[in-house]
């Protein structure tokens, strides 16, 4: 991990509040693995509000041009600032951070990537990585509405094997990605599931898998962060370890990838 | 590298019998043991690395969420999660030594007994420490913590008992949440402390207006960062003026100008905390900035500079 | 205009025997008598305009410079410059009435005697006032001011003597600089006060690193603005939970979301201060914002909403 | 005075740290008089640092196009923010503020405008106003160095009767505007002096005039401000009134124009 400054090559609007930010950074492109994230300074150099960096999963890496990108939703002050940044300006960020996804590519398993809302962002890098290694993947995405409409062209470039669900049916199929998972759980077995999204979604997946067999389930978690590098203990979540002991683990440095079945949701 | 920096003595200071190479420390709980930050710069350059506060046994800390951002500040309710003093002795000390860090060990106990037991444990390695900081001011624990500052009488025994056990400069870290800093400093001095470190965080809270739930599971937390700088600076100035003990100043320091402001207000050294999260190399930059300032102002030692604003006001 | 706003009762509240049309007040010293702000919006819409604190005689206040900006906050050391209570009675009251303002008169005395004399003067116009606020918490004066909060015992006589003279709801304004808010509130209640208003500013300072001079001629000043919001909110929550007296909450409120946060934390009404300087129409916007929030959350009266976060935590 | 939002038509760099900001505002153009100022919000809508508005004197008013302008020096956070604003964005400001300069145009007097550094900004609007009314003016400007170099074309459009001094001689004549005033004080009498600049300069002018006769001297003062409209008592300076009493006056609403001979410098 390093403190970096990278030129912004594009900051494209994908939907009403959805943006894709492309940044030049050979270091990230060389070193980052899927599931890792960067912590971005979202204020001008001299201003102290917003104060803390904001974490974003890495969405795409294009090694040819040394460009990586983030896909983000405007939520509050920090992301609003980000959405106003322009081509040619420099992004101040720290990365790559977190443990990331380490794949055993010889295990002969299928991969099911299941994302809710902006949770699809880090999964796309994982999908691209797996597709490149010619692994079999199924990408299941769920959204509230059609804000992610123009994102479909990005996933279609990676795989044709994807399903999109929206709660209101305005984009893709009407329904929930978790319902799809539940309905097809038998047929999908012997897979590695990687999930990222709202904790309600993750909890439902956990429940589905408790009674299923033949799955490894990983999840990418979010928690508010201060340092982003494991120093402040700010970003912990509860994990029930294999031996039954319950401990706090840091999302930023022990995660963001955790065994979904060990996560305690409260 | 300029004159003041080259001539190491220009930036050095002593607290008790320990010599520090410069007045830029990092604050307990914001830098862990420094290993993470060493990826960004050489932490042996720091005046000192103050460790996360260690208790006798492992502490799991408070439930999450533990942090919440506010205007120019942040609330935390970590609750002193730490692996216990044995972890420091068996694992962390050695890593920090390898990196060449000058160490201030922060310790925490919920009563005099716990503090004594920790002191006994560190006796064997006391030579490895530049100082021990007693965290008597954590707002996020039920026992001990800032209760000491609410009732400063309890500070005396803790300090004197530890002083009996270990022979390391003792720093007492105090809370701004009670109007007891001066009284606590006097008691600390009488009982053998070598310096006071202020301020720990200011208690604050935040609520979610949709769910009515507190933003921190612990309901309240400690406010740190630039928002509290004027308050911290006032406490430092007021205490330093009394000339009871040397004061290590902290609270919102985010650039070398802030650091200089604390030094001229009377701090003998300063601590960088929350700012590390925003810019992980800031403490190194602050050392350079102070040196540059001293050159441009014609100061050849810290002594000439510390407390300048007290003399002028 | 939505349901809750149309049906005036939805936003109204009572303090003592006074009815306020909504819970959005403006803070003493940040709005003068409201005449200036009436150029920006109709100040009769406010729940109340709290005047600058008036003392018996004209006070010239502290030497300039009197303000200094800090991260998300400002320090002020105005020192209660005011034209004296006669000016209020002879000139300002009438202007405020003309504009239709509901008035909370803030008064300040350095001892019980001065407070009594002021009370006697306002006796004749007491019907024109919604309430009288006793500023027992100014950090910028040598006598009186927050000394009352340092020694809460002195609060009793002030409140009871004034209560003997005038028959207007009394609000006691307290300081966060001592850990005495709850104690002071109990004493205020016992002596007849009708509400507590918190927080006044937090003491802070700043220095010029080129000249070593304080940024404020008075050396220290009071910190206000968004920086202090989490601290103010904590004090409001903590006091409101005790159910001693109704609490008027203030400190850094800058948007309707902030206002709602104070209300759910237990404030019966809120005060807008420093934010007026940044956006002169913000208090009007806050009234609208609260009403909109109540509609969307399904609250039909303030009572349903006030203290929600206390009930939930 | 009003809370206004005006479109930025230009934000031109005049020198290393000197900018001219042009803003569309019929209201200001119709109502402002020389010496008045505006208070500008120098942070994005949702950020709280920098917190307070920044005061700037009105530099030019072009009634034909309903455009007024500010001339400003980048000093700290607020002006740095301002310098990054771009054409097409909206400026959030309050104005016109302060008492301003009221001229008795039939008094047959000459006007000497004497400005130091950025203090020349509000004087330019006064000069333009007086020139339009065909009053005789002399504009004396003093600077440290040549940062104001390209400002000369603006003053030259208003009057040819100007003198520029710099301390280092890099632009105009080498020397101080106050030395020029002192040397020519006799020949300039029966004038109205309007001064704006650093307090050291104003103090020297005051000293020069104490012993001179036939002058009316006005000064435009600066003090840190919070409200800008007379409500907070934050911006006071000491004034010795005609009857000898010393009082605090508010720069924002009692000023910024004060009788220079009544100002107490400390
Ligand atoms: C490991 C990780 C990866 C993420 N990846 C993405 C991504 O690829 N795309 C994307 O749009 N968002 C992502 N998020 C969420 C993103 O960090 C938040 O949306 C963002 O911080 C909101 O900042 P704000 O200032 O706009 O909102 P505000 O609500 O104003 O933020 C206030 C505070 O809360 C924190 N916060 C708010 N929401 C979240 C959240 N969901 N998780 C953690 N902290 C939060 C902020 O960092 C800040 O400290 C990720 C979060 C984490 C932890
Ligand atoms: C009536 C009036 C008219 C002015 N006209 C102009 C003008 O036309 N052009 C121009 O460049 N400048 C002018 N100034 C000065 C201008 O307001 C400051 O340069 C500006 O506020 C600096 O803000 P900053 O954030 O960049 O600096 P910082 O130093 O970061 O500001 C910190 C704080 O100090 C205050 N401050 C700093 N310098 C001054 C100052 N000189 N006067 C008042 N407050 C100050 C700021 O408002 C802020 O609250 C004027 C000031 C006043 C009072
Ligand atoms: C996340 C976090 C954890 C902290 N943990 C400790 C701690 O373990 N012991 C301690 O004495 N102070 C602790 N503090 C307080 C800091 O050491 C420091 O006193 C305070 O944050 C003010 O400085 P700052 O504004 O520079 O952060 C912690 C602060 C933060 C933000
Ligand atoms: C410039 C200024 C003047 C003030 N004057 C008074 C005063 O005269 N009386 C008083 O009780 N409080 C005074 N206060 C305190 C405010 O009323 C309020 O308690 C405090 O500023 C916190 O609220 P805020 O953050 O919304 O400003 C003053 C505050 C400011 C900023
Ligand atoms: S954010 Fe600091 S430990 Fe994770
Ligand atoms: S700035 Fe508030 S009175 Fe002048």
Q: Which residue in the set B63, B78, B280 is minimally distant from A3, CB to CB?
A: B280
Chain A residues in contact with D78 by the CB 8 A cut-off are: none
A3-21 tens-digit pLDDT: 999 999 999 999 889 999 9
B27-39 tens-digit pLDDT: 999 999 999 999 9
Summary mean pLDDT of chain B: 94
What architecture is the D2-97 domain classified under in CATH?
Beta Barrel (2.40)
- Which residues of A have a CB under 8 Å from any CB of C? 48-49
Query: What is d(CA B220, CA B75) in angstroms, rounded to the nearest whole number?
Result: 8
Q: Which helix (H) or strand (E) element contains residue A7?
A: strand A2-13
Residue C250 scores a pLDDT above 90: yes
pLDDT at C7: 59
pTM of this structure = 0.96
Q: How far is D88 from chain A (nearest CA, A)?
A: 14
Using pLDDT thresholds of 50, 70 and 90, give the confidence band for residue D211. Answer: confident
Structure tokens at D40: 């500008």
Structure tokens at A124: 């796309």
Give yes or no for C233 touching B (CB within 8 A).
Answer: yes
Give yes or no for C30 touching D (CB within 8 A).
Answer: yes
Catalytic residue among C110, C138, C149, C268: C138
pLDDT at B6: 63
DSSP annotation string for A164-229: EEETTSSSSEES-HHHHHHHTTTTT-SEEEEEES-HHHHHHHHHHHHT--SEEEEEE-----SSSS
B203-250 tens-digit pLDDT: 999 999 999 999 999 999 999 999 999 999 999 999 999 999 999 999
Pocket probe for ligand 5: among A234, A237, A258, the residue whose CB has the most ligand atoms within 8 Å is A234
Give yes or no for A47 touching D (CB within 8 A).
Answer: yes
Residue D257 scores a pLDDT above 80: yes
Percent of all residues in chain C with a pLDDT value above 90, rounded to a whole number: 89
Q: Name the residue in chain D with its Cα closest to that of A42.
A: D47
Is the Cβ–Cβ distance between B215 and B183 less than 8 Å? no
pLDDT at C140: 74
Using pLDDT thresholds of 50, 70 and 90, give the confidence band for residue A189. Answer: confident
Interface test with B, best of D43, D49, D77 (most B CBs within 10 A): D49
Q: How far is D92 from chain B (nearest CA, A)?
A: 21
Domains of chain C: total = 1
Question: From ligand 4's centre to the CA of C137, what distance in Å?
Answer: 10
Structure tokens at D235: 């911006």
Ligand 2 lined by D254 (C-beta under 6 Å): no
D223-234 tens-digit pLDDT: 999 999 999 999
Closest-approaching ligand to the CA atom of B49: 3
Residue D141 scores a pLDDT above 70: yes
Query: Across the interface, do D84 and A47 touch by the CB < 8 Å criterion?
Result: no
- If DSSP codes are grouped into helix, strand and coil, which group holds residue C128? helix
pLDDT at C123: 95
Interface test with C, best of D38, D40, D51 (most C CBs within 10 A): D51
Which residue's alpha carbon is at the smallest distance from atom 45 of ligand 2? Answer: D224
pLDDT at A46: 80
Chain A residues in contact with D80 by the CB 8 A cut-off are: 44, 46
Interface test with B, best of A4, A81, A233 (most B CBs within 10 A): A233
Query: What is d(CA B268, CA B247) in angstroms, rounded to the nearest whole number?
Result: 6
Q: Where are the beta strands (DSSP E) in chain D?
A: 2-13, 18-24, 37-40, 54-57, 60-62, 67-73, 90-97, 110-116, 137-143, 162-166, 173-174, 191-196, 215-220, 236-240, 246-250, 257-259, 263-264
Residue A250 scores a pLDDT above 70: yes
Residue C42 scores a pLDDT above 90: yes
Closest-approaching ligand to the CA atom of A84: 1
ipTM of the complex: 0.96
Which part of chain A is CATH 2.40.30.10?
A: 2-97
Q: Mean per-residue pLDDT for D166-171?
A: 91
Query: What is d(CA C143, CA C154) in angstroms, rounded to the nearest whole number?
Result: 13
Q: How far is A206 from chain B (nearest CA, A)?
A: 20
Give yes or no for C156 touching D (CB within 8 A).
Answer: no
Using pLDDT thresholds of 50, 70 and 90, give the confidence band for residue D222. Answer: very high
Percent of all residues in chain C with a pLDDT value above 70, rounded to a whole number: 97
Chain C residues in contact with D2 by the CB 8 A cut-off are: 39-40
Domain extent at residue C293: 3-312
Summary mean pLDDT of chain C: 94
Q: How far is A42 from chain B (nearest CA, A)?
A: 10
C67-113 tens-digit pLDDT: 999 999 999 999 999 999 999 999 999 999 999 999 999 999 988 99
Query: Across the interface, do B64 and A248 touch by the CB < 8 Å criterion?
Result: yes
Q: Which residues of chain B have pLDDT under 50?
A: 1
The CATH number of residue C278's host domain is 3.20.20.70
Query: Across the interface, do B277 and A232 touch by the CB < 8 Å criterion?
Result: yes
Give yes or no for C281 touching D (CB within 8 A).
Answer: yes
Q: Mean per-residue pLDDT for C258-285?
A: 98
Which part of chain A is CATH 3.40.50.80?
A: 101-193
Chain A residues in contact with D90 by the CB 8 A cut-off are: none
Contacts by residues B37-43 (CB-CB < 8 Å, ≥ 24 positions apart): B37/A229, B37/A231, B37/B276, B37/B280, B38/B99, B39/A1, B39/A2, B39/A229, B40/A1, B40/A2, B40/A3, B40/B280, B40/B281, B41/B280, B41/B281, B41/B283, B41/B284, B42/B99, B42/B100, B42/B284, B43/B99, B43/B100, B43/B101
pLDDT at C5: 62
Chain D residues in contact with B71 by the CB 8 A cut-off are: 48-49
Structure tokens at C255: 């948007």
Catalytic residue list contains B138: yes
D145-159 tens-digit pLDDT: 989 999 999 999 999
Q: Could you confirm whether domain A101-193 is CATH 3.40.50.80?
A: yes
Chain B residues in contact with D49 by the CB 8 A cut-off are: 71-72, 226
Pocket probe for ligand 1: among B64, B66, B68, B69, the residue whose CB has the most ligand atoms within 8 Å is B69
Residues with CB under 6 A from ligand 1: A 37, 50, 52, 54-57, 70-73, 75-79, 118, 121-122, 222-225, 256; B 69
- Return the ligand 4 atom nearest residue C200 CA: 19
């Amino acid at each position: 991990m390093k403190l970096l400054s990278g030129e912004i090559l594009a900051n494209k609007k994908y939907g009403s509040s959805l943006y894709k930010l492309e940044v030049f950074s050979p270091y990230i492109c060389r070193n980052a693995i899927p599931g890792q994230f960067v912590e971005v300074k979202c204020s001008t150099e001299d201003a102290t509000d917003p104060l803390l960096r904001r974490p974003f999963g890495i969405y795409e890496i294009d090694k040819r041009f040394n460009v990586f990108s983030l896909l983000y939703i405007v939520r509050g002050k920090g992301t609003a600032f980000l959405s106003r940044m322009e081509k040619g300006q420099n992004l101040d960020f720290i990365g790559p951070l977190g443990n990331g996804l380490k794949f055993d590519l010889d295990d002969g398993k299928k991969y099911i990537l299941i994302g809710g809302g902006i949770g699809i962002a880090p999964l796309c890098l994982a999908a691209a990585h797996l597709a490149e290694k010619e692994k079999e993947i199924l990408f299941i995405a769920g959204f509230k509405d059609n804000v992610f409409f123009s994102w479909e062209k990005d996933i279609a470039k990676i795989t044709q094997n994807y399903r999109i669900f929206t709660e209101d049916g305005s984009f893709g199929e009407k329904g929930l990605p978790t319902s799809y998972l539940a309905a097809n759980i038998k047929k999908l077995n012997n897979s590695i599931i990687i999930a990222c999204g709202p904790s309600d979604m993750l909890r439902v997946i956990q429940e589905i898998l408790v009674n299923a067999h033949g799955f490894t389930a990983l999840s990418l978690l979010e928690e508010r962060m201060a340092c982003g590098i494991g120093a402040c203990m700010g970003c912990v979540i509860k994990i029930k370890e294999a031996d039954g002991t319950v401990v706090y683990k840091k999302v930023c440095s022990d995660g963001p990838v955790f065994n979904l079945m060990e996560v305690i949701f409260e | 590298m300029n004159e003041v920096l080259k001539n190491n003595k220009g930036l050095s200071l002593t607290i008790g019998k320990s010599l520090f190479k410069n007045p830029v420390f990092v604050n307990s709980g914001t830098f862990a043991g420094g290993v993470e930050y060493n990826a960004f710069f050489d932490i042996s350059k720091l005046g000192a690395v103050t460790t996360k506060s260690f208790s006798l046994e492992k502490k799991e800390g408070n439930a999450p969420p533990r942090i919440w951002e506010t205007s120019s500040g942040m609330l935390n309710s970590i609750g002193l999660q730490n692996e216990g003093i044995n972890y420091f002795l068996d694992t962390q000390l050695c890593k920090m030594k390898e990196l060449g860090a000058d160490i201030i060990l922060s310790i925490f106990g919920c009563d005099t007994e716990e503090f004594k037991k920790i002191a006994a444990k560190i006796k064997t390695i006391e030579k490895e420490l530049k100082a021990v900081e007693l965290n008597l001011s954590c707002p996020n624990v039920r026992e001990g913590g800032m209760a000491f500052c609410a009732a400063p009488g309890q500070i005396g025994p803790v300090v004197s008992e530890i002083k009996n056990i270990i022979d390391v400069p003792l720093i007492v870290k105090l809370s701004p949440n009670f109007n007891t800093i001066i009284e606590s400093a006097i008691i600390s001095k009488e009982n053998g402390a070598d310096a006071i470190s202020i301020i720990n965080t200011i208690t604050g809270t935040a609520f979610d207006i949709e769910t009515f739930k507190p933003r921190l599971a612990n309901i309240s937390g400690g406010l740190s960062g630039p928002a509290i700088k004027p308050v911290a600076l006032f406490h430092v100035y007021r205490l330093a003026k009394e000339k009871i003990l040397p004061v290590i100043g902290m609270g919102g320091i985010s650039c070398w100008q802030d650091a200089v402001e604390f030094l001229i207000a009377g701090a003998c050294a300063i601590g960088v905390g929350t700012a590390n999260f925003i810019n992980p190399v800031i403490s190194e930059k602050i050392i350079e900035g102070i040196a540059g300032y001293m050159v441009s102002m014609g100061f050849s030692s810290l002594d000439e500079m510390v407390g300048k604003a007290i003399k002028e006001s």
